[in-house]
Amino acid sequence: MTSTPLKHDLRSVAAHFEIGGEFLEAAPYGTGHINDTYMVNYGKLEAATKYIFQRINHSIFKNPPALMDNVARVTSHVRRKLEERHADQIARRVLTLVPTREGGTWHVDAGGNHWRCYLFIERATTYDQITTAAQAREAAKAFGLFQKQLADLPPPRLHETVPGFHHSRQRFDALRAAVEEDPCNRAAAVKPDIEFCLRHEPMVDVLLALQARGVLPERVTHNDTKLNNVMLDDATGEGVCVIDLDTVMPGLSLYDFGDMCRTACSPTAEDERDLSRVEARMDIFEALVRGYLATAGGFLNPAEKDHLVFSARLITFEIGIRFLTDHLRGDRYFKIHRPGHNADRARVQFKMIESFERREAEMNRAVKEADA
């Protein structure tokens, strides 16, 4: 583990949680763009027990108690389902919140930061890029199963942890406002990217209009199904656990399917600088459709199935818009690791959209065949 001083004092945070044994060490973990995630080891080094600690990013999630209420309800519901069917290794199939010493699910430190702790899921890995169709199928199966497990979540409706999170019209309008204000004088340098967005504007209203007409139903969805939010079993490759539950809330099934395509279909990471490497892989798309329909096909309605291909373009567009907006606003939302990082990320999304557009007929065929 690293010896660089950490941004937070994990030893004192961890003391507030119901964990026995001796605190050994903590280190930053993962490549998420939003929260601060740490792996913390307890016990003896040769037989350490690992935990995941997370500081919830409260400038994005304005109501951490409501968010934690969602997470607790969702994880208990999924756990109950697993218990009912006598599933094996339940602690690896659903996130387990470790309680605080006061019996709550989060701790607020002196700086007003909200912390939570999960059991560490062993012998499984998250991938920023996937290499095989089997990985794509397993990931999509796991996200589809997650939607299915939550289809009968009892009321009340989950809290909207970020209002309008997938409201693509609002995301587009926010981009337009950022272009007009241009607070960091960056718009001129990304003119072709802005023009790309303006040309694609009509896309942003399509699913919202279908939802307003009652054609697409509201469901409980994950809303952030990028590939590194599902853990694949190291031994079997199975999509063993869906993680990063901060955005689980009411949404459209297509938001989840679209984001899987956005992150899995390109052979590159989402911030690749060599755009010639960015393209939509059809073997991966087919595997995503098959995996997703294997678990979600039973409850999706015909309109949802008819828009699977479109959702890949729309969600890729929406996230591209968000990266570009953040670049124009001075990188205040997504963590960046180099200048221009968000603009690079945006361009990968736009390149993917062009590739999805070229392959639309093939993609439609893949859905028809998988749904036959």
Size of the site for ligand GN1 (CB under 6 A): 12
With contact defined as beta carbons under 8 Å apart, do 259 and 315 qualify?
Answer: yes
- Kindly give the pairing relationship between strand 239-242 and strand 230-233: antiparallel
Restricting to residues 48-67, name those near ligand GN1 by CB under 6 A. 60
Q: Which stretch binds ligand ADP (CB under 6 A): 33-41, 61-69, 317-325, 339-347?
A: 33-41
Q: Which positions ≥6 away from 323 have C-beta within 8 Å?
A: 334, 342, 343, 345, 346, 349
Residues 6 or more apart whose CB falls under 8 angstroms from that of 13 comprise: 53, 107, 109, 115
Based on the shown chain and the rule CB under 5 A, indicate whether residue 36 belongs to the binding site for Mg ion.
no
**Number of residues counted as binding ligand ADP (CB under 6 A):** 16
Distance of alpha carbon 293 from alpha carbon 276, whole angstroms? 31
Is residue 34 at the binding interface for ligand ADP, with CB under 6 A as the rule? yes
* Stretch of 83-91, 102-110, 240-248, 361-369 lying at the interface with ligand GN1 (CB under 6 A): 240-248
Q: Which does residue 247 touch among ligand GN1, Mg ion, ligand ADP, none (CB within 5 to 8 A, set by kind)? A: ligand GN1
Q: Is 33 one of the binding residues for ligand GN1 (CB under 6 A)?
A: yes
User: 176 and 323 in contact (C-beta within 8 Å)?
Assistant: no
Output 107 or 226, the one with its CB closest to ligand GN1. 226
211-240 residues near ligand ADP, rule: CB under 6 A: 228-229
Spatial contact of 136 and 264, defined as CB atoms under 8 Å apart: yes
Per-residue x/- mask for ligand ADP, residues 98 to 127, rule CB under 6 A? --------------------x-xx----x-
Contact with ligand ADP (CB under 6 A): which of 35, 266, 325, 342?
A: 35
Residue whose Cβ sits closest to ligand ADP: 32
* Pair 228, 126: CB distance under 8 Å: yes
Q: How far is the CB of 60 from ligand GN1 (least distance, A)?
A: 6
Residue keyed to tokens 């945070």 = 13
**Distance of closest approach, residue 285 Cβ to ligand GN1, in angstroms:** 18
Contact partner at residue 126 from Mg ion, ligand ADP, ligand GN1, none, CB < 5 to 8 Å by partner kind? ligand ADP
Sequence-distant (≥ 6) Cβ neighbours of residue 251 within 8 angstroms: 165, 166, 218, 219, 220, 221, 222, 223
* Smallest separation (angstroms) from ligand ADP to the CB of 244: 3
- Check if the beta carbon of residue 18 is closer than 8 Å to that of residue 98: yes
- Residues 165 and 246 sit within 8 Å (Cβ to Cβ): no
Q: Select from Mg ion, ligand GN1, ligand ADP, none the partner in contact with residue 270, using the beta carbon and a kind-dependent cut-off of 5 to 8 Å.
A: ligand GN1
List Cβ neighbours of 314 (8 Å cut-off, separation of 6 or more): 168, 203, 204, 206, 207, 254, 258
138 binds, among Mg ion, ligand GN1, ligand ADP, none (CB under 5 to 8 A by kind): none
- Check residue 229 for interaction with Mg ion (CB under 5 A): yes
What lies within 8 Å, CB to CB, of 345 at 6+ separation is: 270, 271, 320, 323, 334
Name residues contacting Mg ion, limited to 239-268 (CB under 5 A): 244
174 is written with which tokens?
Answer: 């926010």
Does residue number 244 form part of the binding site for ligand ADP (CB under 6 A)? Answer: yes
For 264, the token pair is 């899995």
Taking CB under 6 A as the criterion, the residue among 28, 30, 104, 297 binding ligand ADP is: 30
Give 199: exposed, middle or buried? Use CB within 10 Å, 0-12, 13-18, 19+: exposed
Write the interaction track for ligand GN1 spanning residues 289-328; mark x where CB under 6 A is met and - where it is not.
------------------------------x---------
Residues that bind ligand GN1 (CB under 6 A): 32-34, 60, 224, 226, 229, 244, 246-247, 270, 319
Residues that bind Mg ion (CB under 5 A): 32, 229, 244
Residues that bind ligand ADP (CB under 6 A): 29-30, 32, 34-35, 37, 52, 95, 118, 120-121, 126, 228-229, 243-244
